[in-house]
């Protein structure tokens, strides 16, 4: 169950196929894939050199009009595998639209999504023929977990069912010309669902099982949907363009539901161990409820409580001696949890080693302990984190303060280089502090 698979985000992974299928493909198909990849590389290069988009679209239609949508996705993922930045590959989305000839923007998007969905279904039928036992096992296992009361996949699926209903309701209201502002605001709860995927599922797939596609691609799409919903919610001018944007983001959210249910969840089902599911269940409690959906998994509750009891017994017998004194592990743990700050320590090998406990604005799932810190951040944030840590290691900086607003409050996030008395780098500590109290204090003076 927990054997590592050396996978990248290929069409096998996109469709939820088992990895062995790729080795069964014909040489002719592999040559075809290579040709498609080289063509897409050429399109990107031409766009980068400033060539007119319409000119590139024309050639794209000529070469890809009879190509399955999933094959195009495969070629794009090969580009990512070879090191092409995701932001560059995403430029091809504008080129894709040339294949779909709906009269409106919504029709084009709908046709595109339909083509991809049909292509994915075709790939699944292919898997059924080549490896029927593996295909059946994967989807039966995913179905069983989705039907297990309280299991994370049960809750994720229940949330998706609610999202699907809300999408249908919003679309219906738009057709009637009704105001959907309140519905859009409520629908933004999907960001909580995406945050749980980003913190609890994507990093585990990437680090433990070397399945990098979801974290490289799906995570980025999640963020784009979340950000677009936030922008739409803030917009006061609900004109035709606004309605078009609503329809477009609903289509993307709807397609993500399909990908989760038919691709992501089956991949997780055949890889994650029961202990990992227990961890996901426990960590998910730190997130706000989605539409009030809350489930209890008794099997996991017992496991987690037993683990906590063992931890409590162990720390009661331990004492730490330091230069400034000594205290028990229980005392140290309680002291760190009392401080009104969020603390994260990453060691000199970039591994998450410690989080203090308590309610957090920036979620820190327990499963992230002993995992590389970079895997815990979405693709667009990872370069910044790498840059900060590298500057600490080469002694060009000792701290990096970052001010931001979250949940309507000001926060100060400070990264500090941790060094011993000889100046040797031992790691990085991140400190998050809610500065609302300071704002209120100085405002009242």
Pairwise CA distance, residues 437 & 170, whole Å:
39
Share of the chain above pLDDT 70, in %: 73
**What is the pLDDT of the chain when averaged over all its residues?**
80
Dihedral Cα 48, 119, 155, 377, nearest 10 deg = -20
C-alpha span between 199 and 259 (Å, rounded): 18
Give the global pTM.
Answer: 0.64
Is 318's pLDDT higher than 80? no
- Which run of H or of E encompasses 73? helix 69-81
Name which of 70-79, 110-119, 238-247 the model is least confident about.
110-119
Give the pLDDT band (50/70/90) at residue 113: very low
What is the pLDDT at residue 204?
Answer: 92
For residue 367, what pLDDT is reported? Answer: 85
Instruction: Kindly tell me if the per-residue pLDDT of 234 is higher than 70.
Output: yes
Q: Which of 45-54, 247-256, 326-335 has the lowest mean pLDDT?
A: 45-54
Buried b (16+ CB within 10 A) or exposed e, 230-259: eebeeeeeeeeeeeebbbbbbbbbbbbbeb
The pLDDT score that the predictor gives to residue 116 is 46
The residue with greater pLDDT, 166 or 365, is: 166
Q: CATH 1.20.120.520: which residues of the chain?
A: 161-315
Residue 394: what pLDDT? 95
Contact in structure between 426 and 347 (CB atoms under 8 Å): yes
128-142, 248-262, 374-388 — which is least confidently predicted?
128-142
pLDDT band at 86 (very low <50, low <70, confident <90, very high): low
Is a pLDDT exceeding 50 seen at residue 106? no
Query: Do 264 and 214 form a contact (C-beta atoms < 8 A)?
Result: yes
Using the predicted structure, report yes or no on whether residue 124 has a pLDDT greater than 60.
no
What pLDDT does 110 receive? 47
Mean pLDDT of 15-33: 41
Return residue ranges of the chain for CATH 3.30.450.20: 322-444
Q: Which long-range contacts (CB under 8 A, 24 or more apart) does 101-107 make?
A: 104/244, 105/244, 105/247, 105/248, 106/244, 106/247, 106/248, 106/251
Of 152 and 110, the one with more pLDDT:
152
Choice between 343 and 13, residue whose per-residue pLDDT is larger: 343
Mean pLDDT of the region 232-237: 93
pLDDT for the residue numbered 360? 82
Q: Per residue in 170-227, pLDDT tens?
A: 999 999 999 999 999 999 999 999 999 999 999 898 888 888 777 777 888 899 999 9
Of 4 and 394, the structure prediction assigns the larger pLDDT to 394
pLDDT digits (tens, 9 = 90+) for 51-60: 877 787 778 7
How big is the CA angle at 436 (ends 288 and 361), to the nearest 5 degrees? 25
322-444 fold: Beta-Lactamase (3.30.450)
Q: What is the pLDDT of residue 413?
A: 93
Does the pLDDT of residue 352 top 50, yes or no? Answer: yes
How is domain 161-315 classified at the architecture level of CATH?
A: Up-down Bundle (1.20)
Tokens of 206: 């990437």
pLDDT score of 1: 42
């Amino acid at each position: 169950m927990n054997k590592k698979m050396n996978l990248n985000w290929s069409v096998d992974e996109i469709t939820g196929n088992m990895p062995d299928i790729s080795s069964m493909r014909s040489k002719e198909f592999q040559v075809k894939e290579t040709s498609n990849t080289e063509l897409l590389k050429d399109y990107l290069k031409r766009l980068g050199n400033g060539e007119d988009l319409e000119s590139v679209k024309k050639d794209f239609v000529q070469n890809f009009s009879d190509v399955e949508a999933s094959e195009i996705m495969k070629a794009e993922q090969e580009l990512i595998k070879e090191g092409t930045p995701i932001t560059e590959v995403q430029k091809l989305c504008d080129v894709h639209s040339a294949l779909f000839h709906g009269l409106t923007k919504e029709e084009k998007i709908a046709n595109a999504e339909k083509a991809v969905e049909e292509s994915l279904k075709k790939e699944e039928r292919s898997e059924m023929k080549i490896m029927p036992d593996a295909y059946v096992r994967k989807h039966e296992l995913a179905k069983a977990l989705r039907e297990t009361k309280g299991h994370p996949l049960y809750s994720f699926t229940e949330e998706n069912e609610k999202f699907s209903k809300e999408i249908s309701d919003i679309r219906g209201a738009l057709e009637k010309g009704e105001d959907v502002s309140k519905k859009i605001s409520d629908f933004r709860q999907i960001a909580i669902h995406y945050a749980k995927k980003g913190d609890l599922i994507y990093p585990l797939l990437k680090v433990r099982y070397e399945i990098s596609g979801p974290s490289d691609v799906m995570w980025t799409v999640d963020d784009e949907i979340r950000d677009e919903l936030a922008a739409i919610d803030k917009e006061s001018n609900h004109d035709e363009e606004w309605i078009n944007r609503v329809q477009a983001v609903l289509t993307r959210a709807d397609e993500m539901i399909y990908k989760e249910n038919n691709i992501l969840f089956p991949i997780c089902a055949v890889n994650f161990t029961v202990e990992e599911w227990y961890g996901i269940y426990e960590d998910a409690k730190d997130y706000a409820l989605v539409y009030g959906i809350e489930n209890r998994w008794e099997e996991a509750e017992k496991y987690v409580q037993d683990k906590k009891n063992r931890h409590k017994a162990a720390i009661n017998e331990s004492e730490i001696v330091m230069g400034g004194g000594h205290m028990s592990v229980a005392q140290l743990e309680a002291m760190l949890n009392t401080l009104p700050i969020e603390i994260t320590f990453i060691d000199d090998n970039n591994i998450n080693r410690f989080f203090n406990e308590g309610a957090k604005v920036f979620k820190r799932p327990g499963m992230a302990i002993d995992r590389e810190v970079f895997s815990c951040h979405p693709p667009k944030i990872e370069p910044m984190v790498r840059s900060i840590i590298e500057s600490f290691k080469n002694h060009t900086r000792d701290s990096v303060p970052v001010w931001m607003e979250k949940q309507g409050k000001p926060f100060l996030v400070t990264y500090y280089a941790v060094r011993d008395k000889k100046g040797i780098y031992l790691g990085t500590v991140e400190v998050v502090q809610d500065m609302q109290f300071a704002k209120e204090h100085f405002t009242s003076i």
